[in-house]
Amino acid sequence: MNTFIFTATFILLSTVVNQGISNPAIGFSAILSQNTYLENDHAIVYDNVVTNFRNGYNRWSGHFAAPRKGLYVFTCSVRANSKVGITVVIVHNGRPVLRIASSVYSPETGSGSVTLILKKGDNVWVKRLGHGRHIEKHYNYFSGYLISAEI
Amino acid sequence: MNTFIFTATFILLSTVVNQGISNPAIGFSAILSQNTYLENDHAIVYDNVVTNFRNGYNRWSGHFAAPRKGLYVFTCSVRANSKVGITVVIVHNGRPVLRIASSVYSPETGSGSVTLILKKGDNVWVKRLGHGRHIEKHYNYFSGYLISAEI
Amino acid sequence: MNTFIFTATFILLSTVVNQGISNPAIGFSAILSQNTYLENDHAIVYDNVVTNFRNGYNRWSGHFAAPRKGLYVFTCSVRANSKVGITVVIVHNGRPVLRIASSVYSPETGSGSVTLILKKGDNVWVKRLGHGRHIEKHYNYFSGYLISAEI
């Protein structure tokens, strides 16, 4: 009996070492589906959810809540729908961490990425920081994913 | 005999737990090396391949085919080489998933990222969606990588 | 005795297989905190370090040195603080690999990402390639992270 289980263990372990065990899969991407007017201090609600593996992203609030601790990456693109620039900011538990700006003179896309260490349950979202208020559907999006849980 | 293999197993397992086993490595980046005129419905062929680990990216077709299932991230930057904006779109198995636009008024870079769940063999590429047709060498690129195979 | 260790091994292995072992965690993000004049051939020193897990990024030199070999992703955004475009380039061990340009006509953000295979100790940084020299605080940043050590 012991020999059987032992052999099973050895085969299982060899498989692990040969093929690798992957990172836990956590990641989302969401896109704005309607032209939107930004209020102060509200999360931007990217409502067209392309991917939401492990359901960390809430499409009603616009918040991502970390399903587990780890090293994460977040990316956001912003584009105004007029010739007024808009600055948004990626927020971690209420603290602004990365500003991203659309141009002041023409509707163009600004993008930014940031690497963050999150505790389980930490929140990350995007809000308006300043300048204009009208952002364009399809060209505003927000993504995040776990890089490693080994922190 | 059993004791020897058993001890080997235990040491191997301890190593795995202490050092971690990494994600399978899959990732590519490719850059446009020539100013290019975009046809309708053709994949943009980023021909200067910087990295192509596990050969998922095909530099002749511009398509990435997933070497295995998993959670992937794709990033693309677009820049026109005139004052005509260009919109491109990241396509997953023929379905457009993320639009990225260069400015309408000046040659500027638009960038976007998207997290996608792929089955083995799924295709991801970039094509023109609208507006102008001339994109600039060196400033148009496409990247993708596996975040986790645990889906 | 053997039975005890054996059982411990089996439980440990089952845990590994069920929960996954994550990628080693390596990643950083740093932001420019002051408007900066770019010299030729100097690394841009992003001095406001948001994250620096495993200390690969040096905030005095602007260089990232890989703590271990692997497949990495680097992302950079550039924005001039005047109506003069600026081109920067991500450099790997002295070799320019990815150009990123701010617009020629208006202060706007250009962003780019690249996937690179690094040996332990390889350096990655960002430098000015051409055009203007004044970049704007808060909107210039540089990030990098390990995707997989299995190369």
Is residue B101 within 8 Å of A54, Cβ to Cβ?
no
Q: Report, as an integer, the average pLDDT of B35-45.
A: 92
DSSP annotation of B121 reads T
Cβ within 8 Å, pair C51-A114: yes
**Residue B41 confidence (pLDDT):** 84
| Spatial CB neighbours of C125, under 8 Å, sequence gap ≥ 6 | C43, C44, C61, C62, C63, C64, C90, C91, C142
Angle at B93 between CA C72 and CA A25, to 5 degrees: 40
Q: Which residue, among B143, B22, B72, has the nearest Cα to C148 in the 3D structure?
A: B22
Spell out which residues of chain B touch residue A79, defining contact as CB-CB under 8 Å: 101, 110
CA atoms within a 13 Å half-sphere pointing along the CA-CB vector of A100: 33
pLDDT at A13 over 70: no
pLDDT at A7 over 90: no
In one-letter notation, the amino acid at residue C24 is P
Give the number of other CB atoms < 10 A from CB of residue A37. 10
Average pLDDT, chain A: 89
Considering only alpha carbons, which residue of chain C is nearest residue B19?
C24
Q: Interface pTM (ipTM) of the complex?
A: 0.89
Is residue A2 within 8 Å of C9, Cβ to Cβ?
no
Instruction: Using an 8 Å CB-CB cutoff, list residues of chain A that contact chain B.
Output: 3, 6, 9-10, 13, 16-17, 19-29, 31, 50-51, 53, 75, 77, 79, 103, 105-109, 111, 113, 138-139, 141, 143-147, 150
DSSP annotation of C95 reads E
Which helix (DSSP H) or strand (DSSP E) does residue B52 occupy? strand B48-53
Nearest CB neighbour to C23, from listed B6, B20, B106: B20
pLDDT at B133 over 60: yes
Cβ within 8 Å, pair A101-C139: yes
Q: Which residue, among C140, C1, C5, C124, has the nearest Cα to C65 in the 3D structure?
A: C124
- Write down the pTM of the prediction: 0.91
Task: Say whether C135 sits in a helix, a strand or coil.
Answer: strand
3-class SS shares of chain B: helix, strand, coil, % to 5: 10, 45, 40
Is residue C144 within 8 Å of C30, Cβ to Cβ?
no
Instruction: Using an 8 Å CB-CB cutoff, list residues of chain C that contact chain B.
Output: 2, 5-6, 9, 12-13, 16, 20-24, 70-71, 73, 75, 97-106, 108-117, 147-151
Confidence of residue A64 (pLDDT cuts 50, 70, 90): very high
Model confidence pLDDT, tens digit, residues A113-146: 999 999 999 999 999 998 888 999 999 999 999 9
Whole-Å CA distances, B102 to A37, B14, C89: 22, 51, 19
Cβ within 8 Å, pair C22-A114: no
pLDDT at A22 over 90: no
The residue of C115, C122, C143, C146 whose CB has the most chain B CBs within 10 angstroms, and thus the best one to mutate to test that interface, is C115
Considering only alpha carbons, which residue of chain A is nearest residue C75?
A113
Instruction: Name the minimum distance, in Å, from the CA of A38 to any CA of chain B.
Output: 21
The conformational region for residue A50 under phi > 0 = left, psi -120 to 50 = alpha, else beta, is alpha
Confidence of residue A53 (pLDDT cuts 50, 70, 90): very high
Domain boundaries in chain C?
Answer: 26-148
Model confidence pLDDT, tens digit, residues B67-106: 999 999 999 999 988 778 899 999 999 999 999 998 777 6
Q: Which fold does the domain A26-148 belong to in CATH?
A: Jelly Rolls (2.60.120)
Cβ within 8 Å, pair B23-C23: yes
